[in-house]
Structure 1
Amino acid sequence: MAWNVFKLCTGLKVVGSVMILVVLSVVGVSYYAVVVANYVPQVWKGALATATALLVLILFHFLLAMLLWSYFAVVFTDPGGVPQGWKPSSCEDDLEAQSLPLDPTPATTTVPVSLSTMAQSANVRYCRKCCQFKPPRCHHCSVCGRCILKMDHHCIWVVTCVGARNYKFFLLFLLYTFLETTLVTVALLPQFVAIFSNIDEDSSFPSVLATTILAFVLNLAFALSVLGFLIMHMSLVADNTTTIEAYEKKASTRWRFDLGWKRNFEQVFGMRRIYWFLPLYTEDDLRRMTVLQGLDYPLRSDNDSQEF
């Protein structure tokens, strides 16, 4: 019997659980270094030191709250799975025009003859592992063991897939992580420089010095790495493309889901600007925007006037 190497992917679920602890540990170290060890003591010094400390503390707690809100919104929001018994609206529809290259011929051992024949004759995408039809932009995740709507990637940092219903929350998590880690890096830079400039005169406790150095290095590394991911994903949003689709689509033709950067942006972040930077959607957006359900997507027309 052939050994299925993809079964090893289930081990990533355990790794992902550890990653949550890593994220919370970095947050804890940063909180101690910025709040407890360095800036709360400066509140009582008066004058400019007090004003600076208060500003740093307010910004730090605000960004931390938004970071954690966005993070747990990704973790606890289902990215979207194919509804039980879902089928294309019409077997005569050209669904190939709304999807990536079709899967190979469905397995005849697990698929009823009628469904297999229907999939082949109508060019419908079919998942041989889940034994069900796949909506446009849907892909099977070997880690989650199911098809994910508008799957972008499986992220071990959030222990789940990033898909149609939590992609916005993931992007906000990247944004607030970058802002928070940048703030911590800038806030601890003077202390970091002072530690190595006046190492013989520094009277701080060794634990404070070690935590300050560790927090500075960790946050600098995270800020630089997250910035790259944030830029990449924002470019994908501008083209209405997922990470998977970016590698599979043809670069010679314009992506048929590309409705223009503004509409592409609204398909992810919603129609109400006041909610763009919050990890939630309005009831109106959830009702009107079918793309948030992950089953139906508007296509670009020849004159680029496609409406939601």
Structure 2
Amino acid sequence: MHRSAGATMAWNVFRFCTALRGLGSIMILLVLSIVGVTYYAVVVYNYGPALFAGGASTLLALVVLLLFHFLLVMLLWSYFSVVFTDPGSVPPNWNLDFDEERGETAPLSGLDFNSQVNSQQSIAHNDTGHPRARYCRKCNQMKPPRCHHCSVCGRCVLKMDHHCVWVVNCVGALNYKYFLLFLFYTFLETTLVTLSLLPHFIAFFSDIDIPGSPAALATTFLTFVLNLAFSLSVLGFMIMHVSLVSANTTTIEAYEKKTTPRWMYDIGRKRNFIQVFGNDKRYWFIPAYSEEDLRRMPVLQGLDYPVRTDLDGQEL
């Protein structure tokens, strides 16, 4: 009976992961459909015609349309950067251990290797808090620190945060910054749309005679509700990820409670932020890294993470 229940659970999980893979282009089309409906309501129906109204209406429409198009470009740029950027894969035949005395990398011994294979811990480290290599039974390979296996993608992902159905991809070391920018610009865009359509939404429930076809009015109403809902939900999600970045942890690591009482990768808020967004401030708000940062910051490659040297509770 126990074996049958276990097999059923494994089969259900497999079917669930297969279903998530199958969403694929459907989710991308859904996102583009929401963008299309929003574009029609804001640009085509409401603020586009207002450009020719004259006076303050023209100025307001110009400001709204300029901000709307700028944020839309940044949103789509960030979104497709997350979709098409590999979150980070384990290099072939990767093998790493940390030598405590030399502070360098060294091959795993046979005893250590067998110990790692038999261990099912999510985060392995030695007594000094240094990261240790782990073994993935599904991929049959060693895993770098902070790497996790994604059942949806069917492979190990470097510094995996979560698998996001909206971007049809894992969020990991190489596209986490792009995901955060996607949240940021989505929040700004949906907030702008909500505020710009608020007067039209209020007028919808008043006795004012609103020009336009019923379909156009319904589209405006739907757009307002959708963007308000997305704005509030993305705000909560963004606040959560800001706290994760400030502590240099991921959603998986926080869920596994590996960040308490002292998280060895938390090296201070400023340096934690730089590990995700890079040193070059010119690139902080665009989904890209400078060549200098990619060359001088191994952490951006997802394999090598500095650890804190003070594990005695001293505040950084």
TM over 0.5: yes
CA RMSD of aligned residues (A): 2.3
With structure 1 as the length reference, what TM-score do the two structures score?
0.87
- Counterpart among 16, 23, 30 of residue 22 in structure 1: 30
- Kept in 1: contact 2:27–2:165 (CA 8 A): yes
Give 1:203 shift.
2.9
- 1:98 alignment partner in structure 2: none
- 1:55 alignment partner in structure 2: 63
Bigger RCO of structures 1 and 2 (CA < 8 A, at least 6 apart)? 1
- Kept in 1: contact 2:249–2:259 (CA 8 A): no
Give 1:206 shift.
1.1
**1:119-140 deviation per Cα after TM superposition (whole angstroms, max 9, x unaligned):** 5699741000000000000000
Is 2:186 the counterpart of 1:177? yes
Is 2:127 the counterpart of 1:153? no
Q: Which amino acid aligns with 2:175?
A: N
Is 2:244 the counterpart of 1:246? no
- Counterpart among 149, 161, 164 of residue 140 in structure 1: 149
Q: Relative to structure 2, which stretch is displaced further, 247-256 or 78-87?
A: 247-256
Q: In the superposition, relative to structure 1, how do residues 118 and 32 fare at CA in structure 2: closer, same or farther (>3 Å)?
A: closer
Is 2:211 the counterpart of 1:203? yes
CA distance in 1, matches of 2:191, 2:301: 34
- 2:172 alignment partner in structure 1: 163
Structure 1: 4+ residue segments shifted above 2 A: 1-6, 112-124, 249-252
- 2:295 alignment partner in structure 1: 287
- Counterpart among 24, 42, 45 of residue 50 in structure 2: 42
**1:154-176 deviation per Cα after TM superposition (whole angstroms, max 9, x unaligned):** 00000010000000000000000
Secondary structure of the residue aligned to 2:52 is: helix
Q: Which amino acid aligns with 1:167?
A: Y
Q: Which amino acid aligns with 1:163?
A: G
Name stretches of at least 5 consecutive residues in structure 2 with no aligned partner.
102-109, 120-125, 127-131
Secondary structure of the residue aligned to 1:140 is: strand
CA distance in 1, matches of 2:258, 2:63: 48
CA distance in 1, matches of 2:97, 2:66: 52
Give 1:245 shift.
0.5
CA distance in 1, matches of 2:116, 2:265: 26
CA distance in 1, matches of 2:179, 2:230: 16
Q: Which amino acid aligns with 2:295?
A: R
- 1:108 alignment partner in structure 2: none
Q: Which amino acid aligns with 1:164?
A: A
Q: In the superposition, relative to structure 1, how do residues 126 and 18 fare at CA in structure 2: closer, same or farther (>3 Å)?
A: same
Q: In the superposition, relative to structure 1, how do residues 118 and 74 fare at CA in structure 2: closer, same or farther (>3 Å)?
A: closer
Instruction: Tell me how many residue pairs correspond in the alignment.
Output: 285
- Kept in 2: contact 1:10–1:142 (CA 8 A): no
Give 1:18 shift.
1.6
Identity level (%):
65
Q: In the superposition, relative to structure 1, how do residues 113 and 182 fare at CA in structure 2: closer, same or farther (>3 Å)?
A: same
**1:36-58 deviation per Cα after TM superposition (whole angstroms, max 9, x unaligned):** 00001111111111000000000
Give 1:13 shift.
1.3
CA distance in 1, matches of 2:71, 2:133: 45
**1:84-106 deviation per Cα after TM superposition (whole angstroms, max 9, x unaligned):** 1111156x569xxxxxxxxxxxx
- Kept in 1: contact 2:177–2:276 (CA 8 A): yes
- Counterpart among 63, 75, 89 of residue 67 in structure 1: 75
- 2:195 alignment partner in structure 1: 186
Q: Relative to structure 2, which stretch is displaced further, 11-20 or 135-144?
A: 11-20
CA distance in 1, matches of 2:234, 2:77: 17
- Counterpart among 229, 245, 257 of residue 237 in structure 2: 229
- Kept in 1: contact 2:153–2:170 (CA 8 A): yes
With structure 2 as the length reference, what TM-score do the two structures score?
0.85
